[in-house]
Amino acid sequence: MTGGRKKKPAGQDGAGQAGPEQATRKPRKTRARTPGAGADGENPFRALMRRNRAPEPATLVIFGATGDLARRKLLPAVFGLWQDGLLGSAFNIVGVGRQEMTDEAFKDFAIEALKSSKETDAPQPGSLEKFRELLYYEFGDFGGDEVYSLVQKELDRAEEAHGGRKNALFYLSTPPSLFEPISNGLGRLGLDDESEGWRRIVIEKPFGRDLESARHLNDAIHKVWDESQVYRIDHYLGKETVQNLMAIRFGNAIFEPLWNRGYVDHVQITASEDLGLEGRAGYYEEAGVVRDMLQNHLMQLFALTAMEAPAAFDADAIRDEKVKVLRAVKPIPKGRVKQVAVRGQYGSGTMYGERVPGYREEPGVREGSSTPTYVAVKLEIDNWRWQGVPFYLRTGKRLPKKVTEIAVVFKRPPLGIFPGGLERNVLAFRIQPDEGVSLKFSSKTPGQEMVLREVVMDFRYDAFGAQLESPYSRLLLDALLGDATLFPREDEVDHAWQIVSGILEAWDGTKAPEFPNYPAGTWGPDAADELLGPDRRWRRL
């Protein structure tokens, strides 16, 4: 199911089309932070990854261009792509906001943002000044028409430089309450119309705050846009190592035969964060961990781990398989939540040797707040491949360290002929940091006795000598190319909401007398250990 309420004109998909001269011919310069660059200073893997990937001339229109995301992530990502010559010369950016500001003031703002963001690639001499020339700004009330007609004028202005095309990527980096008004505003002014160039819309997370609102938003979006024009962003899908999960599963013959209930005991998916609220109480108090991380990022990691092999590496084949497995997840109605899910909220504690406040002491958090900052959940899949194999997902803030990992834990050997315990082999995908893949298995220790010990075979991504690109760079470039493979489709988002709906129903608005139930700097509430039962343990990461 792909929405498809509006028809898309033929030949408007930028994918695979020849790009601007600069992107294909001009040799790219070394990125200053790139380790292990080739002899000519160019990183060979980066070049390899991006050959033939050049978008048509286009305008990137960022709604909410003065916000935190735009400042810290989006502008640095676009700058990195541009500096690498991947956007060509015929590219410009229009920031749109509510604040009255001249083009010059916005240019100053954006350059300052680039200078202060940790995500910005080291600028080459003069490149910030050149990038500055690509920036424009418009402002107005997102509920009215004027701001959209100003955007229209920006597209008209760029037309000549863009070879007579008016391609535009509209990026909605605003509070979610504005997604629908902006989509409608663009529609009212006909900015979705692809007769003069392709038009696409990128929608930030969270996509809805529950199943009903997500469906409402999807319907509203589809009144204006065809599903093929819609790019719902989940930045986890832009992470190199998340894509590697597919490469390892479906680019090798040795893993798939083991990837099923015959060999796998259970799977653990962990996204632990050491950070607390970071001044985002306004948002987080409304969202909580289930909406912030579980419904989107963890559900995507889960789907990619559990799905069947797609027939091809293309957007619909992959998304079809993800949807199939999401549909096969055993429902978690409100009444089952206690058995399969655990919530937590951090209290004060010690992180890296320093005292940190509890969630309820963070600025902006309601007194006695019951917002969960930790969730662990057991998902069961009713299909032939996974029947009886639990998938345990956990994520939380103020855990001991930042680490995201998918661990496939295999069954114990059926018979112990050596002294010592029968350990389970583990294939672990480290999504971040120390990106890589490791296989844990038992080996004989040197000596006369047959004594076994667990050892680890480790592949580290840094073996490629390549700097991993920011997920936002990857996803922005994909959206400009018209490649939706790494963007969740309407039905995926819907099924992910269906899975967590019962949990939200059970927890939203109910008091949590047990909160806070884990001190900052620990691995979450004790009840999360009990979720795994007596014979399984969370991995200590």
Ligand X SMILES: O=C1O[C@H](COP(=O)(O)O)[C@@H](O)[C@H](O)[C@H]1O
Ligand Y SMILES: NC(=O)C1=CN([C@@H]2O[C@H](COP(=O)(O)OP(=O)(O)OC[C@H]3O[C@@H](n4cnc5c(N)ncnc54)[C@H](OP(=O)(O)O)[C@@H]3O)[C@@H](O)[C@H]2O)C=CC1
- Tokens representing 481? 């190319």
CB closer to ligand Y, 176 vs 482:
176
Q: Which does 69 bind (CB under 5 to 8 A by kind): ligand Y, ligand X, none?
A: ligand Y
CB closer to ligand X, 3 vs 238:
238
Q: Is 67 annotated as a binding residue?
A: yes
Q: How far is the CB of 488 from ligand X (least distance, A)?
A: 13
Q: Is 240 in the site for ligand X (CB under 6 A)?
A: no
Q: How far is the CB of 419 from ligand Y (least distance, A)?
A: 51
Q: Which does 204 bind (CB under 5 to 8 A by kind): ligand X, ligand Y, none?
A: ligand Y
Q: Which does 64 bind (CB under 5 to 8 A by kind): ligand Y, ligand X, none?
A: ligand Y
Q: Is 402 annotated as a binding residue?
A: yes
Q: Is 469 in the site for ligand X (CB under 6 A)?
A: no
- Tokens representing 59? 């305008």
Q: Is 138 in the site for ligand X (CB under 6 A)?
A: no
Q: Which does 273 bind (CB under 5 to 8 A by kind): ligand Y, ligand X, none?
A: ligand X
Query: Nearest CA to 441 among 422, 456, 420?
Result: 456
- DSSP string for 339-367: HHEEEE-EESEEETTEEE--GGGSTTPPT
Give the separation between CA 357 and CA 371, rounded to whole angstroms: 15
CB closer to ligand X, 321 vs 469:
469
Rule CB under 6 A: which of 280-319 touch ligand X?
292
**Phi, psi of 421, deg, nearest 5:** -70, 160
CB closer to ligand Y, 64 vs 347:
64
Assess contact for 61 and 102: CB atoms under 8 A. no
Q: Is 170 annotated as a binding residue?
A: no
CB closer to ligand X, 138 vs 204:
204
Q: Is 204 in the site for ligand X (CB under 6 A)?
A: no
Query: Nearest CA to 177 among 151, 140, 202, 208?
Result: 208
Assess contact for 218 and 211: CB atoms under 8 A. no
Q: Is 273 in the site for ligand X (CB under 6 A)?
A: yes
Q: Which does 163 bind (CB under 5 to 8 A by kind): ligand Y, ligand X, none?
A: none
Q: How far is the CB of 395 from ligand X (least distance, A)?
A: 9
Q: Specify which residues 171 forms β-bridges with.
A: 62, 202
Rule CB under 6 A: which of 64-103 touch ligand X?
none
Asked if 162 is an active-site residue, the reply is no
3-state secondary structure 435-481: CEEEEEEEEECCCCCCCEEEEEEEEEHHHHCCCCCCHHHHHHHHHHH
Assess contact for 170 and 138: CB atoms under 8 A. no
Q: Is 405 in the site for ligand X (CB under 6 A)?
A: no
Please identify which residue in the block is written with the tokens 């018979």: 415
Interface positions with ligand Y (CB under 6 A): 64-70, 97-99, 142, 173-176, 178, 204-206
HSE, side-chain direction, 13 A CA sphere, residue 5: 11
Q: Which does 292 bind (CB under 5 to 8 A by kind): ligand Y, ligand X, none?
A: ligand X
Q: Which does 176 bind (CB under 5 to 8 A by kind): ligand Y, ligand X, none?
A: ligand Y
State the catalytic residue, choosing from 222, 266, 297, 495: 297
Rg (CA), the chain: 24
Q: How far is the CB of 290 from ligand X (least distance, A)?
A: 12
Q: Which residues contact 284 (CB under 8 A, 6 or more apart)?
A: 277, 292, 371
Assess contact for 93 and 135: CB atoms under 8 A. yes
Q: How far is the CB of 277 from ligand X (least distance, A)?
A: 9
Give the C-alpha distances (Å, rounded to integers) separating 206 from 1, 168, 217, 283: 21, 23, 11, 10
Q: How far is the CB of 275 from ligand Y (least distance, A)?
A: 11
Query: How wide is the angle at C-alpha 207 spanned by C-alphas 136 and 397, nearest 5°?
Result: 100
Tell me the angle at which helices 299-306 and 490-507 cross, rounded to the nearest 10 degrees. Answer: 120
Type of residue found at 320: D
Q: How far is the CB of 358 from ligand X (least distance, A)?
A: 17
Q: Is 66 annotated as a binding residue?
A: yes
8-state DSSP, 258: G
Q: Is 532 annotated as a binding residue?
A: no
Give the separation between CA 268 and CA 533, rounded to whole angstroms: 14
Residues that bind ligand X (CB under 6 A): 235, 273, 292, 404
Per the annotation, binding residues are 64-71, 98, 141-142, 205, 235, 239, 273, 292, 397, 402
Per the annotation, binding residues for NADP(+) are 64-71, 98, 141-142, 205
List residues with catalytic annotation.
Answer: 297
Per the annotation, binding residues for substrate are 235, 239, 273, 292, 397, 402
